[in-house]
Amino acid sequence: MKYLTLTLVIYLVPCLHSETLNQDLLVFDHLINPVFEARCQHCHGPNKEKGKLRMDSKELLLKGGRGAGTEIIVGGDVEASELVYRITLPPDDEEAMPPVEEGEVHNPVTQEELSIIKSWVELGASFDLKLSELDESARKVASLVLKNLPAKKTEAQDLTTPKLPIVTRADKEVIAAIENIGILVMPVAENTNTLYVNASYMGKNFDDTAAKALLPISEQILWLNLAKTGITDKSGPLLSTFKNLTRLHLEGTNISDAFSPFLSNLQNIEYINLYSTGLTDSSIYHFRKLKKLQKIFLWETNITAAGVDLLKESYTDRKTYLSIKNKYKKIKNNFDKFSLTEKKRLSALETEVQEANDSSQDKISINTQCPVSEKPSNSNIIINFEGRKISFYNEDCKTKFLKDSETYRSKIKNFSPSLVYKNAFEALKQARAQLDIRIKKESVALRKVTHELNSIGPEINLGWTHPTN
């Protein structure tokens, strides 16, 4: 894995101030498109079409991508526009745009940029919209965006060259000896002496004794992968001397809480994977000392949600954290109760619709011609459909109708559902629409507080079925 140098292309715009803002500038061309080029086109451009979405031309943008299609931007309707929905998702949401990608600096749309995008959509998403057509508040925001247009990100890579520690070059003979054991050793990036070391290929053959071979290059090791190796707590003192470590894989090893005090000495650590190890909440005290920690995997350990709370609290004051935590619980509980109640209500309405469909006040079938074969129907081959009696030419016709009633329904002359069915179906339709609106509203509130909670301290992964909050 290597860091890549990024070439920045800076948008050159006139020095604009709110009082001298050129009112003839086009909102999309001069504000929104530069944002898309900087934040989005490295994944949605000519070199990469993530989700089959291209954003490097107006025509391709409106065409949309896989799933969203033309609903990517719905002029006049911010809520229905998939693009706005995606860029307002919390960064940890897998559908968020732009995504948070491992090894990369996150480059999200700013609140000012989002405000202009929303204003543009609300006013019809016209590519001919001018700044003069925005309201006063939006024009002020436009001035800020114009003066702070983001630098273009040409590829999915870091926005800046990472600052790597300056270390002496490791002895070639020492590296050769380590590689002869079966350990991978390679530079973290070009023109640097820092190293990526991976001993996971050796499995349990790499043990506490073998780990001592890394001591001569401890200063140079930046990333270290010891996953599924045979190291134990005995290697703790050794690893605590690897002061420049930023990434450490220990998943699947036999370490316990006794290892954690040594981890707390790694003050530059940003990423630790401790999946499937013997750690408990007792280790949290030591993790709290890792102030640069950004991501930690604790799946299939004995660390609990309470332990996660303790770790999160160390990155803010306890009162603030508990306040956000309680707000999350309240919204989540209300959402769950509401969902359960509405689910029961919809189930009851669906039953009413089905009962109205299956019963009929008709004495005989309302049709004399089979809607499937268009031959004379047999009054003995009948079903109740939407509260009406429908007859068919033969049993095969009846079967075909039941499989594709929407197609054949229109072929029943002057067909109209029963009043009972109409009322039941309309009540169900309205209930579903109201539920969708309520769920969307509650989901926005829940996503917002979830993002607020997850933004405190490092990202903590307790596993798919054990959320950290």
- 97-103, long-range: CB < 8 A, 24+ apart: 97/40, 98/39, 98/40, 98/43, 99/43, 101/156, 103/1, 103/3, 103/158
Same-domain status, 333 and 431: yes
- Can you tell me the mean pLDDT for 106-130? 87
Q: How far is CA 400 from CA 269, 396, 405, 410, in A?
A: 65, 6, 8, 14
- Give residue for tokens 């004995």: 302
Residues 301 and 320: their CA atoms lie apart, in Å, by 27
Reported as a pLDDT band with limits 50, 70 and 90, residue 21 is low
Q: Quick check: 367 pLDDT over 90?
A: yes
**Nearest-CA neighbor of 41 among 113, 107, 101?**
107
- Asked which of 21-25, 85-89, 138-142, 158-162 is least confident by mean pLDDT, the reply is 158-162
Q: Of the candidates 96, 113, 147, which is a domain's last residue?
A: 147
Same-domain status, 402 and 429: no
- Can you tell me the mean pLDDT for 303-316? 84
Task: State residue 1's pLDDT score.
Answer: 38
Q: Give a yes or no: residue 1 inside a domain.
A: no
Q: Residue 174 belongs to what H/E stretch?
A: helix 172-181
- Asked which of 15-24, 71-80, 140-149, 306-315 is least confident by mean pLDDT, the reply is 15-24
Q: Quick check: 171 pLDDT over 90?
A: yes
Residues 1 and 6: their CA atoms lie apart, in Å, by 16
How many other C-beta atoms lie within 10 A of the C-beta of residue 7?
Answer: 11
Q: Give a yes or no: residue 280 inside a domain.
A: yes
Q: Give a yes or no: residue 219 inside a domain.
A: yes
Q: Give a yes or no: residue 46 inside a domain.
A: yes
Task: State residue 261's pLDDT score.
Answer: 95
Same-domain status, 353 and 392: no
Q: Give a yes or no: residue 251 inside a domain.
A: yes
CATH number where 290 lies: 3.80.10.10
pLDDT tens profile 347-364: 999 999 999 999 999 999
Same-domain status, 411 and 425: no
Same-domain status, 410 and 423: no
* Domain encompassing residue 344: 318-360+418-455
Same-domain status, 191 and 260: yes
Task: State residue 453's pLDDT score.
Answer: 73
Q: How far is CA 371 from the centre of its chain?
A: 48
Q: Give a yes or no: residue 428 inside a domain.
A: yes
Reported as a pLDDT band with limits 50, 70 and 90, residue 87 is confident
Same-domain status, 368 and 356: no
The one-character DSSP state at 381 is: E
Residues 69 and 437: their CA atoms lie apart, in Å, by 22
Residue scoring higher pLDDT (440 or 178): 178
- Asked which of 158-162, 170-174, 247-251, 339-343 is least confident by mean pLDDT, the reply is 158-162
Provide the number of structural domains found in the chain. Answer: 4
Q: Quick check: 35 pLDDT over 80?
A: yes
**Nearest-CA neighbor of 200 among 244, 250, 239, 235?**
250
Q: How far is CA 30 from the centre of its chain?
A: 29
Same-domain status, 221 and 129: no
Reported as a pLDDT band with limits 50, 70 and 90, residue 93 is low
**Nearest-CA neighbor of 212 among 243, 169, 183?**
183
Task: State residue 159's pLDDT score.
Answer: 39
Task: State residue 16's pLDDT score.
Answer: 37
- Asked which of 4-18, 30-44, 245-259 is least confident by mean pLDDT, the reply is 4-18
Same-domain status, 132 and 210: no
pLDDT tens profile 271-290: 999 999 999 999 999 998 99
Q: Residue 443 belongs to what H/E stretch?
A: helix 419-454
Task: State residue 9's pLDDT score.
Answer: 34
Residues 250 and 235: their CA atoms lie apart, in Å, by 11
Give the tokens for residue 417: 């559902």
Same-domain status, 82 and 104: yes
Rg, the chain, Cα only: 31
Same-domain status, 178 and 296: yes
Q: Give a yes or no: residue 76 inside a domain.
A: yes
CB-facing half-sphere around the CA of 416: CA atoms within 13 A: 5
Residue scoring higher pLDDT (403 or 101): 403
Which residues of 245-345 form beta strands (DSSP E)? 247-249, 271-273, 295-297
Q: Quick check: 256 pLDDT over 90?
A: yes
pLDDT tens profile 450-459: 777 777 778 8
- 313-320, long-range: CB < 8 A, 24+ apart: 314/288, 314/457, 315/456, 315/457, 315/458, 316/456, 316/457
**Nearest-CA neighbor of 431 among 358, 351, 357, 350?**
350
**Nearest-CA neighbor of 83 among 101, 102, 70, 100?**
70
Q: Quick check: 375 pLDDT over 90?
A: yes
Q: Give a yes or no: residue 7 inside a domain.
A: no
Q: pTM of the prediction?
A: 0.48
Please name the residues in contact with 80: beta carbons below 8 A apart, sequence gap of 6 or more. Answer: 71, 74
Give the tokens for residue 89: 């998702």
Q: Are 134 and 142 in contact (CB under 8 A)?
A: yes
Q: At what angle do helices 111-122 and 136-147 cross, to 10 degrees?
A: 130
Same-domain status, 45 and 119: yes
